[in-house]
Chain A
Amino acid sequence: MVDESLLVRAVDLARELGATYAEARFQEDVEDSIVMRNGRVIAVATSTLRGVGVRVLVSGSLGFAATDRLDWSSIESAVTAAVSRARAVASMVRTPIEFDDSRVGRASYSVVPKVGLESLGVEDMVNLGREVYKVTLGAVKQVKVPIATFTMEKHVQRKVVVNSDGAFVRSEVPRVSLAASFVEHQPGRGTVQRVLDFGASGGVEWLKEWRVEEEVGREAANLERVLLEGVEPPKEEVDVVVGSEIVGLVVHESAGHPMEADRILGREAAQAGESYVKLEMVGSYVIGNKYATVVEDPTVPGSYGFYLYDDEGVPARPRYLYREGVVNEPLHNRHTARVFGTRSNGAARSMNYASEPIVRMSTTYFKPGDMSFDELIGEVRYGVYMRSYMEWNIDDIRWNQRYVGLEAYLIVNGEVTKPVRNPVLEITTKDFYSKVTGAGKELRFYPGTCGKGEPSQGVPVWYGGPDVRLSKVRLGVAV
C-alpha cells in the first residue's frame, strides 16, 4: 500500500503550484486468472497494477498525470507534470473547467466476502472449468462442440482518494468473474456460438448462486435445438417478449450511456460519442410510456461495479435516469454538475491508477413490473421471445440500436413453441421505451465491462431488468 501522507502532500504541492483543485488517488488492482480450452488449461495469469494518479485544475485547464512508483520523488514529478502540462495548454481553453461544490466524504469501506477469494485456488478454478466442459459436451445429443473455452478471474481493487476539498476515502472491493463459451456445429446447419458471463463483487459464495454448470448445460441443450430446428422470424409486425438479459443491455446502451452528462456536453464526441439527450431535455422530454423507468445505482449489494463513494469522493446514491417515460436525471461528476447547475450524483470512476476519473455507469436496470412470465406471454397470440443475444450495437447518439437474438422462440397462442434463428431487433430508443406493454416482476442482473474514455477505460458493471413485452415490432433476420 501507499504511504497515505504522500497523497495529502501531493494535493498540497499541487495547490502551492497554482492548482485551484487537486486530487491524488492511489489505486491497486490485483488479478489472478486462468484460461482453458476444451477442458484443458492453456495458462494461468496474474496482473498487478499499482500507482498514483494526480488530477489538477490550473487556470480552468484540467491536467492528469500518473506514476507507478510510490516514492515521493516520483509522485512529486507527477504533480509537477500535471500542473505544467495543464498550464501549457491553458491558453486554448475558452470555457474554463470548474467543479461544483458537492459534499465529499471522509470514509473507509470494504466489501467483505462471505467466503474469501484466498480460498479459491487455481485447482478449484481448473476443476470448475473441466466440469463446465464436461457438462457442455453432455448436454448436446446430435451436434458437435468443436471448441469450448473457459476463463475465470479473481480481482481485488483497493483505492485511496484524497482531494483538496477534503475528501479522504479508502475502499477495498474484491470481485470474481468467469466466462464460458462454446461453438456448436452441425453440417448443413452451420454453427451457433455463445458466451456466458458471470461476475459480481464479493467472494466465492457467488459460485453457488450462479450454478454455472447447470446454466451452461441448459444453454448448450437449448441452442442445439436452435441450430437444428430454428426457423426464420415472422416478417410481419408481432409482439416481442425481450428477455431480461437483452433488456439489461438495452437500458445500459440506450438509457445509461445517453444519460452520461459528459456525453451530453460533447466531451466524448470523438470517442464513445455524444447523446440524443440535450441539456434542455432533462426533466421534460418524453422517451417512453409509464413502464419506462430506468434506475442507476452503484450501491446495489454484490453488484459488479459496486462503490459507496466515487473517485471524486462524492457519496454514491441511486439515480432515476428515466422516470415513467421522462428523461429525468443524468449521471454527473463534479464538472458536468457545475455546467448543469446541479450537484454531482457520484458517477466518477477510474479503471486503474493511470486513468482519469470520468462519468460511468455502475448498475443500471429497468424497473420491474408485476407480471409473471406466463402472464407476459399469455396475451401474445403470435410473437417471438428473445432470451439471449450475441451481436449488438448502437449508434453514437444512442438512438438506433440492434440486438441479434441467439436463443429465441416463436410464441403461438400464449405458449413458447419452436425455436427461431437469428431474429434481429433493430429499433430506436424512443420506439423501445414507447412500445412496452408489460414488465415482469423478476429482476435479474448480468455483468459486463463497459468501455469509454481515451485511453479506453473498461470498468465492471451490472445491467439488468425483468422480461419485457413490446407490441408491434417488425423483426429482421441476420444474413
Chain B
Amino acid sequence: MSGLDIARGVLSELAKRFDDVAVKVVTRDTTMLKLWNSQPSVVQVWRDVYVNLLLGKQRRLAVLEFRVGSPEEVLKALARVEEHLVKAEESELYAPLPAPGAPKPLAGGYDRRVLDFRQDPRPLAEAMVSEALSSGAERTAGTLELEETSVSLATSAGFSGEYSKTRVMAYLRSFRGEVSGHWAYGSTYVDERAIEEVGRRSAELLELARRREEFTPGRYDVVLSPLVVGNLLNYVAFMSSALAILMGMSFLVGRSVGDAVASEVVTISDAPRDAELPGTAPFDDEGVETYDKPIVSRGKLTSVLHNTATARVFKASSTGNAGWLNPRPWNIVVEPGSSSLDQMISEVRDGYLIVNNWYTRLQNYVEGQFSTVARDVVLRIRDGSVVGYVDRVRIADRFERLLKGVKAVSRDTYRITWWEVRIPTKAPYLLVEGVNLTKPT
C-alpha cells in the first residue's frame, strides 16, 4: 500500500468524526554509517512509516504521531484522542484547513544513486576518510547517511499530494595531536567531490594550527565558518517561526516586518524550492504550496514563518511553512557576498576564525542572549594573517548584536547539515566585528 493510499484510507475513516483532518504519511528507508577512529562504529538501517494526524473538532485541536506499522493500529488508538478533544477547549491556534491549490512539483531533489550507496556506503565513506588522512589527519570520526523519503498528505479540505526525495549527509572530524577540524555536506544528491571535500576541509585547517596562543576574553573581530553560521542561523530560523514568537521563544517578540535586525549585508531566506538542499518540499503540512522567501532581507525583518493558523493570529497569510501548530523553515539559504575567505582574514587586525561550535543555549530567548562553545580549532588572526590557534573559546553575545555586526559575507557558500545543523543550510563565511568571546580565567 502506498503512503498516499494509507493517508487517504485513514482520512476516509476520520472525516466523518472530526471537522478537520490532515493525514501525513512519511516512509523512510535509511542507512547511516557512523565512524570512529577512521573505521565503522555501527551501521544502522531504518525502514519506517510515520503516520501523523491533525484533528480538529469544535475548534479544538489534536496532533498525533504514530510509528506503529499499520493504519489499523492508528485507528485503534483514536478512541482516547476523541475523549481528549472533547475535554480540551477551543484553541487560539485553530483555523480551518485551507482549500487545496495545485502546488508545482519539485524540480529535482531525487537521486537514484542514493539508493545504490544506501546498500553499500563503503566507497563514499572510504573516500571521505582517506581524503582526510592524506590531508594530514591522524584519525577521523564522522557520519555518512543516505536516505530516501516519501511524503504523502491528504486533508479533509480536499488536498491530496505526494512527493519523494533523497538525502545525503556527510560530516567528518579530523584530529591531529591536540587539534581537530570539521566539515560537513548535506544535499539531496550524491556528490563524490563534495564528500571528498568534507574529508579534505576537515583536515586542511590543521596545517595552520601550528602554535598555541594565549587567549584573553574580550570583543574581537571574528570570521565564522559555514558550520558556525549554519548552527547560529538554525536558531534564528527557529525563532522566526510565528509560534516561537507567540511562545516567547524568540528575539523577534515585539519586532515588526521592516525592523532592522541585522547588518545590511545580511539576507537570509527560507528556501523550500532549493532542490539541492534536503529540506526541499513542494507543499507544507496543510497542503499549501511552498515558495522561497527572505526572512531577513538587507538586514530588515521581512517574513515571519506562518501556517494558516498562526497567520490568522498575526493577520497575515500562510507562508507555506506548516508544521501543524508550529511553522518551521525548510532550508536556510544565506545570500552570498563578494569576499573571499582570504580577503576576510586579511581584514582582521586582532581576531579569530572559529571553525565549529556546539551547545548553543539561551539565557533569555526574548532578549536573544546566548552563548555557544567553539569546538575544533580556533585560529588566531593578527594583522591579517593566521598566527596560531586557541581552543574552545565561547561566543557569549546577543543574536541581534551579532547579526548587526556582520561586515562581510563570502562569495562561496557551502551545503551544511550535521549533528548541530539540523535544518539544511547553504552558508557562507561571515566576518563579524566586535563579538564577545569568553573562556574560564
Contacts and interface: CB of A to CB of B under 8 A. Distances in A.
Interface string A385-407: 00000111111110111101010
Given A183-B248, A395-B375, A126 B126 contact: no
A402 B438 contact: yes
B41 A267 contact: yes
Contacts of B47: 65-67, 77-78, 81
A391 B438 CA distance: 14
Interface stretch (A33-41, A363-371, A461-469): A33-41
B43 A88 contact: yes
A281 interface: no
A88 B144 CA distance: 14
A131 B371 CA distance: 34
A270 B65 contact: no
Main secondary structure of the interface of B (DSSP, over half): strand
A192 B369 CA distance: 11
Given A266-B36, A269-B173, A51 B373 contact: no
B77 interface: yes
Contacts of B34: 454
A428 to B, nearest CB: 5
A44 B49 CA distance: 22
Given A46-B80, A273-B358, A404-B363, A89 B375 contact: no
A402 B122 CA distance: 40
Contacts of B172: 270
B122 A92 contact: yes
B362 interface: yes
Contact of A43 (B61, B65, B70, B139): B61
B258 interface: no
A443 to B, nearest CB: 26
Nearest to B219: A479
Contacts of A265: 36
Given A37-B246, A48-B66, A43 B182 contact: no
Interface string B1-16: 0000000000000000
B88 A44 contact: yes
Nearest to B172: A270
B89 interface: yes
Given A37-B246, A126-B87, A454-B419, A85 B43 contact: yes
B142 to A, nearest CB: 5
Nearest to A40: B92
A191 B367 contact: yes
B371 A422 contact: no
Interface in B393-441: 394, 396-398, 419, 436, 438-441
Contacts of B17: none
Most B C-beta atoms less than 10 A away, residue of A37, A42, A47: A42
A7 to B, nearest CB: 16
3 closest cross-chain pairs (CB), A and B? A147-B248, A269-B141, A391-B363
12 contacts: A41-B88, A45-B65, A46-B81, A47-B65, A51-B68, A89-B121, A91-B122, A97-B41, A122-B87, A390-B362, A390-B363, A431-B440
Interface of B: 31-37, 39-49, 60-70, 73, 77, 80-81, 83-85, 87-89, 91-93, 119-122, 125-126, 139, 141-143, 171-173, 175, 182, 246-248, 253, 325, 358-367, 369-375, 392, 394, 396-398, 419, 436, 438-441
Given A48-B73, A395-B392, 12 more contacts: A40-B89, A46-B65, A66-B44, A86-B43, A95-B37, A191-B367, A193-B363, A270-B143, A393-B359, A400-B392, A404-B363, A422-B363
